[in-house]
Amino acid sequence: MDELVIKVNRNLLRIAKGNIKSLNDLYILTGRILFVMAKKYLCDANYAEDLLSDVYLKVVRKVDSFKKGYNGLNWLIKIVKNEAINYNIKYGRRKTVELNENIHSAQDVEDSLSRLLVEEALQNLDEEEKHLIYLKYWEGYTVREISQETGCAVTTTYDKIRNTLKKLKKLVK
């Protein structure tokens, strides 16, 4: 089992034994991951914060049902997903995204989190920037081909792509 999963499991078992300090440790380990996933399901940071509070309360109430040796991170992610579905029903919202639930290691978490952060950053680009990124990285166009497609000079196109990538890098951080 991955080190992150082991730490999550250890904290869940400590919470089950009544060690409330372990809830804070669990939040430090998983809070950002679960928040990003909740935000992706709910498309609203405020709802995601509320949901996260409810998730950790549910963990405290249901921790006795967690079985030693299971993947605690997957268990938490399923709680987030189920609570998000309930929030969307309660507030009359539609779920807009399907996330990968098969998270078995810290690398899977990193990959999923990176994908979510990049998707969120891409939403903050204007249409021209999105088009440039699409042509360059999805269609595989060269800078020269993109400049012909957009009607801009090659140097201007290169600068626009470079600046868009810088902007993406800042947004992801």
Q: Which amino acid appears at position 77 of this protein?
A: I
Fold of 124-172: Arc Repressor Mutant, subunit A (1.10.10)
What's the pLDDT tens digit per position in 143-158?
898 999 889 898 999 9
Domain boundaries, the chain: 3-105, 124-172
Q: Which CATH code of 3.30.750.24, 1.10.10.10, 1.10.1740.10, 2.60.110.10 fits the domain covering 3-105?
A: 1.10.1740.10
pLDDT < 70 stretches in the chain: 1, 93-114, 173
d(CA 31, CA 76): 10
pTM score, two decimals?
Answer: 0.57
